[in-house]
């Protein structure tokens, strides 16, 4: 059996602050990424994202591979 040390689900495309969408049991959700976490599973690290869901107003953990970016975070924006 081969054991890989690479992270599963890691992506440089999605960053904290990006607006993303995902589906779960034929239900579509949207939210903003608030962070990432890594958990060991299947002989490698699996990457999950902590996302604040707009529909239920709660933080949820989603497998990073299931996320689709809707809007990219603009780091250069000036806050009021």
Dist. CA 69–CA 36, nearest whole Å: 15
- The predicted model gives 21-42 an average pLDDT of 90
- Residue 43's domain comprises 19-71
Kindly tell me if the per-residue pLDDT of 3 is higher than 70: no
Residue 57 domain flag: yes
CB within 8 Å of 18: residues ≥ 6 apart: 32, 33, 69, 70, 71, 72, 73
- The predicted model gives 67-75 an average pLDDT of 83
Residue 30 domain flag: yes
Structural domain count of the chain: 1
Residue 45 domain flag: yes
* CATH number, position 46: 2.40.10
Distance of CA 33 to the CA centre of its chain: 6
Question: Is this prediction's pTM over 0.85?
Answer: no
44 pLDDT band (50/70/90 cuts)?
A: confident
CA angle 58, 60, 61 (to 5 degrees): 170
Residue 31 contacts residue 20 (beta carbons within 8 Å):
yes
């Amino acid at each position: 059996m081969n054991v890989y040390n690479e992270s599963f689900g890691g992506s440089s495309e999605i960053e904290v602050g990006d607006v993303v969408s995902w589906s779960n049991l034929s239900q579509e959700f949207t939210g903003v990424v608030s962070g990432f976490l890594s958990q060991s599973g299947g002989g490698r690290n699996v990457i999950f994202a902590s996302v604040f869901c707009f529909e239920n107003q709660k933080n949820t953990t989603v497998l990073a591979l299931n996320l689709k970016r809707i809007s990219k975070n603009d780091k250069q924006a000036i806050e009021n």
